[in-house]
Structure 1
Amino acid sequence: MENLEPEVTAALNELTQALAEHEIVKDYRSVAAKVARNSHLKELEEKIKEAQQEAVQFAHYGKPEAEKAAILAANAYTREYENHPLVISYREKLGLANDLLHFITENISQDVNQAVENRNKSKEAED
């Protein structure tokens, strides 16, 4: 970022600050922090990982019944995780934040393309 023109750097810093203060981004960060601090969700993540690893090991050693049981356990833990209210809220907030970033990116892209097009037309008119 140190190679950018000062005006571009200032505009980028302003945009970054505005995004950080936007309600959608604040909501997302708040829920993300709650998810990260939730011990039950961390425990479920570990159980899912362990059950998946067990399933792979059982498959490797030719134990189809144990593999099937481990897969069922992993699926049950995954369903519990995905249906947790914090995870549901996190996904909703993430979707909104992504939509906001996409909207901003699209607008910036259109503005830049329009500026380049206008500059090219000006140069053609001068020639």
Structure 2
Amino acid sequence: MDYSIGDKNIEAELDKLLEMLDQNETIQRYKQIEQRVKNNEKLTQLVEEIKQAQKDAVQFAHYGKPTAEQEAIKRADELTAQFDEHPLVVAYREQLSEANDLLQHITAMIQRGINDQLEKEGL
């Protein structure tokens, strides 16, 4: 068996699959909302504020200031809740879940096809 021809066929089929996935409506929606999340200034600011509050908590813990540490942790938790409840983040997570479900379904179909083919060939 000439593996280079088989590899080229597999590569060509993989390219077709990737192109089909890229054009899939679920994947398109996911990519659109992902871009909106990345470009949203409020979300970017929230992430930076969360990081700063977490850094503050670590520093306060290091310097033995438990009250200030707890306040910083509380602030980080509040900011994280704001982030998690933001409509774009909620929509992003829903689209991510749908895209993941699609990819898992496709992966399962491919695995079944390969297993069926291997059984037919007696391997």
Fold agreement, TM-score > 0.5: yes
Alpha-carbon distance between aligned partners in 2 of 1:6 and 1:91, rounded to the nearest angstrom: 36
Query: Unmatched 5+ residue regions in structure 2?
Result: none
TM-score with structure 2 setting the length: 0.94
Displacement of 1:86: 0.2
Q: Name the residue aligned to 1:107.
A: 109
Q: Percent identity?
A: 41
Q: Name the residue aligned to 1:49.
A: 51
* Cα pair distance change 1:26/1:63, threshold 3 Å: same
Alpha-carbon distance between aligned partners in 1 of 2:5 and 2:77, rounded to the nearest angstrom: 49
Q: Secondary structure at the match of 2:36?
A: helix
Q: Name the residue aligned to 1:76.
A: 78
Q: Match for 1:8: what amino acid?
A: I
TM-score with structure 1 setting the length: 0.91
Q: Secondary structure at the match of 2:43?
A: helix
Q: What per-residue deviation string (whole Å, max 9, x for no partner) do you get for residues 69-110 of structure 1?
A: 100100010000000000000000000000000000000001
Residue correspondences, number: 120
1:1-127 matched pairs, under 5 angstroms = 5-120=7-122
Q: Name the residue aligned to 1:125.
A: none
